[in-house]
Each structure stands twice: as structure tokens, then as C-alpha cells.
Amino acid sequence: MDYQTQLLVVMVGYLTVLIAWGLYQGRKVKTDADYAIAGRNLPGWAAALSERATGESSWALLGLPGFAYATGISGIWTAIGCVVGIVTAWWAIAWRLRDEAERFRVKTFSEYMGKRHPEMEKPIRLVGSLTIVFFFFFYVGAQFLGGGKTLYTMFHIRPEWGMLITAAIIVPYTVYGGFRSVVYTDVIQAVVMITTLILGPIVGMIYIATHPDVYASTVVGALTTAGDKYTSLTGAASGFAAGIVIMGGLSWFFGYLGGQPQLSMRFMAIRDAQQARKGRNIGIVWTLFAYLGALCIGWLGIALFGPQGLDDPEYVMPRVMLTIFPPALAAVLITGAIAAMISTADSLLILSSTELSENLLRVDRDEEARALRRSRLVTALLAVIALGLAYVSPSKIIYTLVGYVWAGIGGTFSIVILFTLFWKRFHGRAALTTIIAGMAFTILWISSGMEEVITARVMTFLVAGMVAVVSTLAMPGSSITRE
């Protein structure tokens, strides 16, 4: 059985198990709260693994190893920015959001911001939900596009059919089981991901040390032989350019501070304070091992193939796995990576649908059964429209809008969440102003081309912070609700 056939068999088996597991978890969904936020009853381990799988997916398995392969040790700044942001989120923000979600009995991210600022609750929920739904709607379309391209690359399936297959994988259990099904399928992804990121470097180090035909027998030797660019912490840049390299990497920190709704919802869904502590420990340990492993896999790629040995750096992880493992085992690990990337769409889809259903379409005194049916219908409808959008819209437009998500939504909402949690004077008018100003600034900054000078991940966070401070002090408003 050749490699491609083995990969196909393993992938079909893996995805079949994943879909069945998601549908099984969906049987436990009885109410709208179960569907939107798993009844705020998640064990800490499930929330942590789901949050990590959702936050990293293709980034930890393809993006960061590819970046490390292309840049050498200067890629460490990006890893530091992400790790410090993730650790800060779990240590200082996760348990607070969990407590707040329970106190205010919220089901969605925008609902939380609104209930914390009751004098402006409706406008905040409206603007917050519209912002999230619009941008994450395109994000779902991008995942369908990515799934189609991935299946084409691996199996030469036409991208149009690949997008349909991607949708067929994630839509049934997402529509049926909502947030709960998404979380527990993420758990499987997180286990496969961390296995790949731990096993790969260990076996890879042994492989390059015992095979004389590789580019270098050690990672240090590979980086040194590859040239100064690969052994410099700034990619051989100096002066202002070196500062830009470092700032660009560290800037990923800002997006993790509560501002990514798909991650914060995992914090809000944790059962109790004890489970939040367990989740914190698991989330932090997973992150440390994952990021170290991702960097090492990228550097192992240099040792195996040389700095110019791959046409596309982001395929360094699959190439490394196929080189150091038997085909069947490599197929399992690569399948986990592909599935993690494809199923990122489920978290984004359920987030968009619950924001739309709960904050824009919900009717007061809605019967629970009717609300649950509506949520499922909205999820299915959004999936169909997002898939159609992926077919008819130029991919450049979709990926451009997706580019605004991390800076615009992450940087802006991080400020709103941080100020809401830690500054008593911050009020609803300031929160609404900050959301609008942060998103508008991000769009203008990236559209003007200034992203090439200083990343919007830094600038949006700083500008949104300044707007939040000025509007809090200059505008009249009620202090934050604490009870």
C-alpha cells in the first residue's frame, strides 16, 4: 500500500471517528444554553484542550514550524509572544471570565460585554455581534477554502469538491451538537497535535544523529551551516529593522488577552473555580510543550533538507514526519494536522451562529425547544452561505478580511475585556466607542499599507487602549456592574 493510499485510509477512519464522537456528544444537548456554551458545565481538561486546539490548529502544526524553517532562531520571538499571551490569559483572565459568565448567566461573548455595561447593553450586543458575525463569517469561508486546497494538495481532489467534503465533515455534528460537540471533537485534535509536537522532535533528533546523509547531524549544526540569517535573533537585521522583527513577533501577545471570542468562550464555559485551575495548568503545560515542539520541527527541517530544500516552508511538518516515521504512523500524525486545520471551521461557525441567534434574533420568553431549533437552523444556514461565499468570492477578498480578525477583533476586544475586568471606571459608552474605533482603525491601517511598517496587532491594541482611556474620562457613564 503506497503512502497516499495509507494516508487516505487513515484520514477516512480518523474523520469517521471524529464525526461519530461529535454526534454522540450532541445527544447530550437539551437546551439552548447547552448548545451555545455547553451549559457552562465543561470540565477544566476539556475546556483547556479545546481552547488550545482552537487557538493553534494549523498554526502550531504548519504555520509556526514553517516560520521556524524559513527564519531560523528569529522565529523564537513569535513563539515567546504567543506563549506569554496564552499563559497570561490562563493565569489572569480565564478564571475571572468563568466567574463573570456564571454571575451574569451569559451564553455569548457579546452578551457578556453587554450585561457588564447595562446602560449600553443593547448597542454593545448589537455592534459586538455584527462585528463578530461579519468577520468570522468570512473566516469560516476561508477554512472551507483552506480545506479544499489541502485535499487537493494531498490527494489531487478538485478544490471545489474538497470544499464540499470539508463542509460535510464539520457541519453535521456542529449543527446537531453545537458548542458541546465542537469542544469534545477539539479534545481529540489537541491530543493528536501534542503527540505530534512531542514525538516529532524526539524521534527527529535521533534520526539526524544516526543518518549521515542528512544536511546536518544536529539542529545547532544545521542552523550554523545554513548561515548568519538562521543563527541571528533578528534574522541578520539591525537597527530599526531588528526592532521591527522583534516587535512583530512579540505582538502576538496582545491577541490572547481575552479578545478572541472563540477562545474566551472556552473560559466562560468551565464548570467551577476548581476546574478552572485544572484547565489553567493543562493549558499552560500543553502550550509550553507545543511551541517548543513546533520550533524544533521547523529547525529539524533545516537539518534534514537544508534551508532551501522545500518549495513551501509550511509543509515542513508533513515532510519531516514522512522522513522520520514509518508511513502508517506518519499518516496518523499528518491526518491529525489536516483534520485540525479543517475543523477549525466548527469553532468559528458555532461562534457566529450563537452570536447571531442569541443577540440578534432571540425573542424574549422564547421557549427552550424553539430556541434550540432556531440555533440549529441558524448554524446550518450560516454554513451553507459561508460555503457558497467560498465558491463565488475571490479568495483574496476572503483572506484580506480574515487578516483583520487577529488585529481588529483580537486587539480591540482585548482592551474591552481587560478594562472591563480591571478598571472600575470603564463604562458602556467607552466600551462601545472602543469597539467601533478599534475595528475602524484596523481596517484603515491595513488598507493603507502601514501594516508593512508596524503591525496592526500592536497599533490596534495601543490605539484602542488610548480611545478607551480618553472616552472613559471624557464621557459620562455608569461604572461597571459588579453584582
What CATH number corresponds to the domain at position 115? 1.20.1730.10
Please check whether residue 444 lies inside any domain of the structure.
Answer: no
Walk along the chain (483 residues) and give the pLDDT tens digit of each residue. 677 788 788 888 888 998 999 999 999 999 889 999 999 999 999 999 999 999 887 788 888 999 999 999 999 999 999 999 999 999 999 999 999 999 999 999 999 999 999 999 999 999 999 999 888 888 888 888 878 877 887 788 888 898 899 899 889 999 999 999 999 999 999 998 999 999 999 999 999 999 999 999 999 999 999 998 899 988 777 787 888 889 888 988 988 999 999 999 999 999 999 999 999 999 999 999 999 999 999 999 999 999 999 988 888 998 999 899 988 888 888 877 777 776 678 898 999 999 998 888 876 656 777 888 889 999 999 999 989 988 887 776 766 767 778 788 999 999 999 999 999 999 999 999 999 999 999 999 988 989 888 888 899 999 999 999 999 999 987 655 544
Contacts of 228 (CB under 8 A, 6+ apart): 236
Closest CA to 262 of 140, 416, 392, 81: 140
Please check whether residue 450 lies inside any domain of the structure.
Answer: no
Please check whether residue 428 lies inside any domain of the structure.
Answer: no
Please check whether residue 49 lies inside any domain of the structure.
Answer: yes
Task: Give the per-residue pLDDT at 261.
Answer: 94
Closest CA to 337 of 42, 63, 41, 43: 63
- pTM here is 0.91
Task: State the residue range of the domain holding 166.
Answer: 3-393
Find residue 270's DSSP bridge partners. 42
Task: Give the per-residue pLDDT at 330.
Answer: 86
Please check whether residue 416 lies inside any domain of the structure.
Answer: no
Task: Give the per-residue pLDDT at 3.
Answer: 72
Please check whether residue 135 lies inside any domain of the structure.
Answer: yes
Please check whether residue 402 lies inside any domain of the structure.
Answer: no
Task: Give the per-residue pLDDT at 364.
Answer: 61
Number of domains in the chain: 1
Task: Give the per-residue pLDDT at 146.
Answer: 78
User: For the chain, first and last CA: distance in Å?
Assistant: 63
Please check whether residue 411 lies inside any domain of the structure.
Answer: no
